[in-house]
Structure 1
Amino acid sequence: MSKEKGNLSIHSENIFPIIKKWLYSDHDIFIRELISNSCDAITKVKRLNSLGEADLDGNTDFKVKVILDETEKTLKFIDNGIGMTDEEVKKYINQIAFSGAEDFLKTYKDKGDVDQIIGHFGLGFYSAFMVADVVEINTFSYKQDAAAVKWRCDGGTEFEMENSDRSDRGTEITLYLGEQGKDFLSEYTIRSTIEKYCSFMPYPIYLEVANKEPEKDKDGNIVITEPEALNDVLPLYLKQPNSCTDEEYKDFYRKTFKDFQEPLFWIHLNMDYPFNLKGILYFPKLNTEFDTIEGRIKLYNSQVFVADNIKEVIPEFLLLLKGVIDCPDLPLNVSRSFLQNDGFTRKISDYITKKVADKLNSLFKSDREGFEKFWDDISPFVKYGLIKDNKFYEKVESIILYKTTEEKYVTVEEYLEKHTGKLDKQVYYVSDPVQQAQYIRMIKEYDIEAVILDHSIDTAFLSHIEMKKQDISFKRVDSNISELMKDIDETIDEETATKEKELLTKIFNKILKKEDSKIQLENLKSEDLAGMIILPEESRRMQEMMKQYSMGGFNPGMMPSEETLVLNKKHPLIQYILGQGDKETEMTDLIAQQVYDLAVLSHKPLSPEAMTSFIKRSNEIMKQMIAENQTM
């Protein structure tokens, strides 16, 4: 053909879809698009060969080669795929917005199964102009008697087109990188971008650097090494689950996520109908606060990386996991707002949720002991999931475990069954086993266990469970005094009891410098406990929720204190204070303050000022004890 010049034909009816598709925010995506097109070209010629419509003449070592030339400031993408004739260049390149991949699928859709054509992303070829001042195509079609064609464009609407001397089937695209593409003159950048977008593309991808100094051994001899593909053409998630070993799953996890801590377990997704979806979800250890962790669900379309953590496709709570999901049927060329309202997308999300729930149920039923071993690691994820997703809740609520203060794991039904006759649909829990050790010891005397709920999500989790199971309530061990712990005195004198409470209230108001101290006087069975702090469950949860969601700006002083000081009338210290009556003595004040601080210490840490006073007072009490002992 003679040299030809002309203008690119832009179909006015297609101009807006083009703008939407190719106004990329990430310029490095051109590498994904050009390599995708190269893979498509190979898939097409393989398909034609299988139909007997193409003679490959032995050239079946299919691969994609990327060549970086820092001196010439060029980047080449070379494939040995289907190639193009001059007419096809005019049709698919000069007429912008005409998708060659879509045209190919229409032609061959009824001729048996065909490998996925990545090109349904659109003609990503034009993304090259985001980084290149000039783009050149040199292509030779598989068709007999076709002439090789060279096409060149400087990014405007004009192009040049002529015959070339290329003799190998396939296409070579050369990008003459401009100022906006200078960052891609780095081998590291090109390599990492290929690994980011193309790790699982279906044909080997090789990177070469022109004029690069050869590697030499310690004697100065040139080391000849076989080039290694940057991608895995048959990733593990595409294989049948029953053909994969545990070590292969772990190795895939390490390579994909650069995480050398073994995952707890994994789920292999493998669905062909009613939609095509494959992938692997890994459960990593979540042994820190869940809200500071973000997993990484890598979404692919026909082995082409699309994005991380697309919440419109992946249920939000699953984003704490790590994994790979490949769904060729997903309509990725539309906006995220469309995905949010797309029924097909919701079906995918529901399927993934169901598979995760099924896996957890299977592990619980088949290996309860193993399930318990990693429950501490996965419980934040499970709790977050059942709060966020009602379908997930319905599938897993019966297998939620609670770790007891005796280091055992029970379901809520098992806990209530164990405490039948002692607790009326109440579950006692602790949020800090060390701080609340006094309360744990106290209820243990009555053969009552508490469960440990010490994660930041647990306040919301408990409220959610109570909403769903309205006959069950959770009470922290310091929230009330169980009737089991009281020593019922049938001969109690109500008038005397009232006077004693009034006296103690007056004394504690004085030492605490308050006018409205809440005092509760009880006969507790535990005679070695002088006093304890209780706080209503509802108000304490409200304070915790406000503190959690106010980004640290919550001041507990903004809410009135509802703490109640429970004093044990049977304890000698309380008997001593009552015995002094209205007499105001230094020792009475010291003991009262000490009883209060000891009660607070079992409930929460003392403030720095209170702790200083507590230590000083303790020393003073011991000094007085020594002095009294010496005078005896």
Structure 2
Amino acid sequence: MSTERGNLSINSENIFPIIKKWLYSDHDIFVRELISNGCDAITKLKKLEIMGEADIPEDTHYKVVVTINPEEKTICFSDNGVGMTAEEVKEYINQIAFSGAKKFIETYKDKASDDQIIGHFGLGFYSAFMVADKVTINTLSWQKDAAPVYWESEGGLEYEMREGSRSERGTDITLHLNEDSYEFSNEYRVKEVINKYCSFMPVEIYFENANAPKEKEKDKDKDKDKKAEDEAPKPLNDTTPLWTKHPNDCTEEEYKKFYREVFHDYKEPLFWIHLNMDYPFNLKGILYFPKINTEYDSIEGVIKLYSNQVFIADNIKEVTPEFLMLLKGVIDCPDLPLNVSRSALQNDGFVRKISDYITKKVADKLSGMYKVERENYENFWDDISPFIKFGCLKDDKFSDKMKDFIIYKNLEGKYITLDDYIEAAKSKSFDDKKEEDKSTDEGKEKTDSSSTEDDQELKEDEKVTVYYITDEKQQSQYINMFKEAGLDAVYLTHNIDQPFITHVEYKNQKVRFMRIDADITDSFRDETKKKDKKLLKNNTEAMTKLFRKVLGKEKLEVKVEKLKNDKVSSVITLSEESRRMQDMMRMYNMGAMDDSMFAGGETLVLNANHKLVQYIIANENSEHTPMICEQLYDLAYLSHKPLEPEAMTRFIQRSNEIMLLLAQ
């Protein structure tokens, strides 16, 4: 047998089952594809008119009309675009996957205007067979003396073509729906799909119901001209959505209106970023920062992705940086490398560039706001901080750009940067050191006049502790102690803050974060003479034995210290490391292991300057001492975190007993 060479041809018996079942993930997508084809046909005609190749009447109203017939179970897509000749039907319809849009772009790429052609692959038409047993085409080309063409196919395997009956330029595509797809002859269902995919297509889309009751003749003449404009059919879509305009041409009210209409969120957005880029790729869009009143893990954003004003999908991760999924917005990028079904992206390094660009624009907007609109930035901070902190966790480039613009609310209610806090902490530490030196060396002359400068330089290499608050009510006692001691702390009350501070510590080796109930600092302690230190040590050993016995907690750490505030009887501290580990375990539903594995981080601090503590130290064997010990522990615990139900019950009963004793 001699060698034979030739081109492979597509067998429709093999490809149609693929188109029907696998090409498109959602069957309602055929509405988008067929309307897109109609828009393309009109866009092509407009280009030909601009180039002087087609003579079109000036009053032409370009449109796509979707008509349903619930009785006959059909849906028809009509346009008044270029139409097709018999040869073009053979080329574009009978030859599967030969894209007319692609050929048109190649032919006229040096002559055409900036209007975009939606179609790329030539497969959109065949999506009709996902829902229809029979599809017909009635078309008339724009070309002079062209004859109308009728095309019909049942099941997509065979076709019949003959002269058609259409008298006006354009194309009708009629789908005779299969039994499983009768829903698409329902007015509300079809309008829902058009709203989903076609709300912003560049050509006006109209809807008609062939079975709608006709207006009676006498009613037609009645008030004929009255309200004529109001009663005229209105398009279902907006052909010039806000993102297609230049930011300078958009008003604040237009941005807010667009946000309400597209996202059905009637809380006003905080602010927005208008993306408008032509080089090195075409990208437009608007990203909104919504106002949130909920915890971080319940925030849900929506980023709608479009290509030439055709809806592609929500929240495509390849294009939209993960942390921006918390925002609401639209992104339109005609250059996106879509797969043949236009429902997903092909793997392409170009997509990463788009994602990086969006990240950069968001960082530029936020940093610019910090520099120029600091007051607004601070007003928005509580709402936008979850987005920013999540972005820092997820994207190193974004983190590097935003590190100097992260702000923290301090005890005075002011917003400060981390550098502000560090400088204030160093200054406070330096002042305390000078005060200590002054009292220690009182009456003595310094031997080295430069020692204070050396001390300050020494501080430069030390880690600065940033104290923070996670619950203002629960930690109110500690907050008051901090204020009295002249110390500062910052509020970190969001769920995102715990992983975020770990991230900051990793990025900035000079700081460590510590919750205000993690330790008793020297600023809280009263001045202790040498002879008192031994006494405090002995009392600590005695109180440790006593409290462990009374409370039944063998691992409880107890310390007796002299605190400046003699109104504070006891406090509980939990080491930062232990608490973070417990928080992590709770996050992964491992809370049952807390007591057995990390109970050692808890310390009860008793204030030797408080009369109740002095009483139990002096009266260990008194009948009331166990009750006072329990009460001191529970009071300290309540300032640390809520008591467990049983412990709370005992605390209330014990409080009643103490009041009875006082009353007697």
TM-score range for the pair, normalised by the shorter chain length:
over 0.9
- Relative to 1, partners in 2 of residues 1:501 and 1:421: Cα closer, same or farther, differing over 3 Å? same
Q: 1:529 aligns with which of 551, 568, 580?
A: 568
User: What is the aligned partner in structure 2 of residue 290 from structure 1?
Assistant: 296
User: What letter matches 2:262 in structure 1?
Assistant: T
Separation (CA, whole Å) in 1 of partners of 2:468 and 2:20: 54
Amino acid at match of 2:56: L
Deviation at 1:555, TM superposition (A): 4.9
- Of 254, 265, 276 in structure 1, the residue corresponding to residue 271 of structure 2 is 265
SS at the partner of 1:420? helix
1:60 positional shift: 2.3
Residues 447-462 of structure 1: pairs in structure 2 closer than 5 A: 447-462=486-501
Seen in structure 2, the aligned counterparts of structure 1 residues 167 and 340 have a Cα distance that, compared at 3 Å, is closer
* Gap change, CA 1:106 and 1:335, over 3 Å in 2: closer
Q: Which residue of 2 aligns with 1:542?
A: 581
C-alpha spacing 1:538/1:350, structure 2 compared with 1 (3 Å): same
Question: Could you say which residue in structure 1 is the equivalent of 2:510?
Answer: 471
1:620 aligned onto 2:657: yes
Instruction: State the Cα deviation string for residues 209-244 of structure 1 (Å, max 9, x = none).
Output: 11213689xx99898611111111011101111111
1:594 aligns with 2:621: no
Could you say which residue in structure 2 is the equivalent of 1:4? none
Match of 2:38 in 1: 38
After TM superposition, the structure 1 = structure 2 runs for residues 179-578 of structure 1, keeping only pairs within 5 Å, are 179-213=179-213, 225-333=231-339, 342-422=348-428, 425-493=464-532, 495-550=534-589, 555-561=593-599, 562-578=601-617
How far apart, in 1, do the equivalents of 2:477 and 2:591 lie? 31
Give the percent of matched residue pairs that are identical in Structure 1 and Structure 2: 59
Tell me: CA distance 1:339–1:543, structure 2 relative to 1, closer, same or farther (3 Å).
farther
Cα separation, partners in 2 of 1:479 and 1:414, compared to 1, 3 Å: same
In the alignment, which residue of structure 2 is the partner of 1:139? 139
The verdict on how the C-alpha distance between 1:142 and 1:536 changes in structure 2, with shifts beyond 3 A counting, is same
CA RMSD of aligned residues (A): 2.4
Distance 1:399 1:471 in 2: 18
The AA in structure 2 aligned to 1:162 is: R
Q: Is the 8 A contact 1:11 1:97 kept in 2?
A: no
C-alpha distance after superposition, 1:109-128 (max 9, x if no partner): 12243411101153300000
Once the 2 structures are TM-superposed, how far is the Cα of residue 528 of structure 1 from its aligned partner?
0.9
1:172 aligns with 2:172: yes
C-alpha spacing 1:283/1:347, structure 2 compared with 1 (3 Å): same
Counterpart of 1:79 in structure 2 is 79
SS at match of 1:422: helix
Q: CA deviation at 1:409?
A: 1.2
Q: Secondary structure at the match of 1:281?
A: strand
Q: Deviations over 1:479-499 (max 9, x none)?
A: 011111112312335553333
Answer whether contact 2:537 2:560 (CA < 8 A) is retained: no
Q: Residues 41 and 83 of structure 1 are in contact (CA less than 8 Å); yes or no, is this contact kept in structure 2?
A: yes
User: How many residues get paired?
Assistant: 614
Please, what TM-score do these two structures have when normalized by structure 2? 0.88
Quick one: distance in 2 between partners of 1:375 and 1:163? 67
SS in structure 1 at match of 2:370? helix
| 1:395 shift after superposition | 0.8
* C-alpha contact (below 8 Å) 2:148/2:163 kept by paired residues: yes
Asked whether the equivalents of residues 15 and 97 of structure 1 are also in contact (C-alpha less than 8 Å), the reply is no
Shift of 1:339: 5.1
Looking at structure 1, the residues matched to 475 and 56 of structure 2 have their Cα atoms a distance apart, in angstroms, of 77
Paired amino acid for 2:237: N
Report the AA paired with residue 616 of structure 2: I
Measured after TM superposition, the shift of residue 532 of structure 1 is: 0.4
In the TM superposition, residue 182 of structure 1 has moved relative to its aligned partner by: 1.2
Alpha-carbon deviations, 1:64-106, whole Å to 9, x = none? 0000110111101000000000011011101111111111111
Query: Counterpart amino acid of 1:578?
Result: I
Secondary structure of residue in 1 paired with 2:531: coil
Q: Given the alignment of the two structures, is residue 604 of structure 1 paired with residue 610 of structure 2, yes or no?
A: no
Cα deviation code 1:540-595 (max 9, x no counterpart): 01111221233x765533533121101111111111111014x2x32111111111
Contact preservation (8 Å) 2:312, 2:344? no
**Is the deviation greater in 75-84 or in 15-24?**
15-24
| SS across alignment from 1:119 | coil
- For the residues of structure 2 that align with 1:15 and 1:618, how far apart are their CA atoms? 80
User: How far apart are residue 21 of structure 1 and its match?
Assistant: 11
Alpha-carbon distance in 1 for matches of 2:503, 2:17: 44
Change (3 A) 1:92 1:453: same
Structure 1: 5+ residue stretches without partners: 1-8, 628-632
Measure the CA separation in 1 of the matches of 2:404 and 2:254.
32
How far apart, CA to CA, are the structure 2 residues paired with 1:554 and 1:311? 36
Q: Which runs of 5+ in 2 are unaligned?
A: 1-8, 430-462
